[in-house]
Amino acid sequence: MVFKLFKSGDELYDEGKELIKRGEYDKARDYLQKSIEKEGGIDDAAAVKVALIDLRDRLTNVNAYRNLLNALENFRSHDRFEFGLTEISRDELITECQLTIRKIELLSSGGEGQALMDKGQQIQGLAQEFQSRIGDRHLIILELFKNDTSVTGMTEFFNLMAVSYECMADAVVWDNPSQAAEYEQIAMGYRQQNGQSGDTNMAKVKAYSTTCTCWLCGRIATGEGIHFFSAPAEVSPALDDKDKPTARSRPDNDAQHIYICRACYSAVSNRSDEISRGYYNQTMQEMRAMEARLQAQIAALQSQIAFARMGR
Ligand SMILES: [Zn+2]
């Protein structure tokens, strides 16, 4: 019997396949990589499997998805391949990679104003593609590596629609808080269809649509936390806003807070910052003077000690 020293590409590929089934991905990757070097593997899916294994711990890394997409596009011999115990359609995984790459890129991009509005619109377009191209199917990658089949094209659709309206709300809240409240309301609807509470959206709807009369200047402001703030204060009964202006100048049944518009609020806090900075500078100056005095006294003492030692 001839002892076989080197394994063929096909043998290496088969061992890689078995190791994936056992969940030994790092070892599997080594075997598959060696099989690629020997051009083994009957269905030529080794490069796809290596890219999948490399993606495993980098599910938010756009480059890992790009590598996988590239490997899938070069794998043309079959429509389907197996990975562990799962049979995967090449085209479905290609779609998932394409949409996920766009999702990661869009969600990690910043922007404000019009750019944020455009981002919201683009996310909406992407949401609709998740709906039409994946629909009720669950995402393959999450099934493979997270054992999670609850995320589908539809849940991604609802989630991204919510995110898109939240983006648009952020884009307009500075100029138009009532419009932002409407967008947050729509986002809440999508979150609820996705089984989430939508509480954060509800809190924003409430804040953005709340109107007040500034206690200090009497202007009307809409959008709590953006255009006016609730500030701690002591409101004695005699000071109560008894003439009932169009909008409240403090929260109901709360004698510890008043509403202040952004202009008054920033004027007061800027002035108080200036005052604190003044005190800080004055304190630092006094400390430096004290330090100089102490240093001088220490130096005098040291020279007296040295003088005394010399006299012994
Ligand atoms: Zn004011």
Confidence of residue 243 (pLDDT cuts 50, 70, 90): low
Distance 176 CA to ligand 1 centre (A): 18
Number of domains comprising the chain: 2
Over range 137-162, report the average pLDDT. 96
pLDDT per residue as tens digits for the range 267-282: 999 999 999 999 999 9
Query: Over 50: is that where the pLDDT of 134 sits?
Result: yes
Q: What percent of the chain has pLDDT over 70?
A: 95
Please give the distance, rounded to the nearest whole angstrom, from the Cα atom of residue 167 to the centre of ligand 1. Answer: 28
pLDDT for 244: 64
Task: Measure 240 CA to ligand 1 centroid, in angstroms.
Answer: 17
Residue 210 CA to ligand 1 center (angstroms) comes to 15
| C-alpha 273 – ligand 1 centre gap (Å) | 18
Clarify whether residues 134 and 172 are in a common domain.
yes
- Do 253 and 201 sit in the same domain of this protein? no
The domain boundary, picked from 154, 187, 206, lies at 206
Q: In which domain, by residue range, is 202 found? A: 109-206
Dump pLDDT digits (tens) for 77-94.
Answer: 889 999 998 999 999 999
pLDDT score, position 8: 79
Do 194 and 266 lie in one domain? The reply is no
Mean pLDDT calculated for residue range 202-211: 94
Q: How far is the CA of 231 from the centre of ligand 1 (A)?
A: 12
- Pair 240, 167 in one domain: no
Which of 182, 206, 230 is a domain's end point? 206
List the shell of residues around ion ligand 1, using CB closer than 5 Å.
214, 216-217, 261, 264
Does residue 156 lie within any of the structural domains? yes
User: Which of residues 191, 206, 221 is at a domain's end?
Assistant: 206
Residue 121 and residue 193 share a domain: yes
In a domain, 8, yes or no: no
Strand ranges inside the chain, DSSP E: 80-83, 86-89, 211-213, 220-222, 228-232, 257-261
Same domain, 199 and 157: yes
CA of 248 to the centre of ligand 1 (A): 13
pTM: 0.77
Q: What is the distance in A from the centroid of ligand 1 to the CA of 23?
A: 64
Q: Do 256 and 179 fall into the same domain?
A: no
pLDDT of 262 reads 96
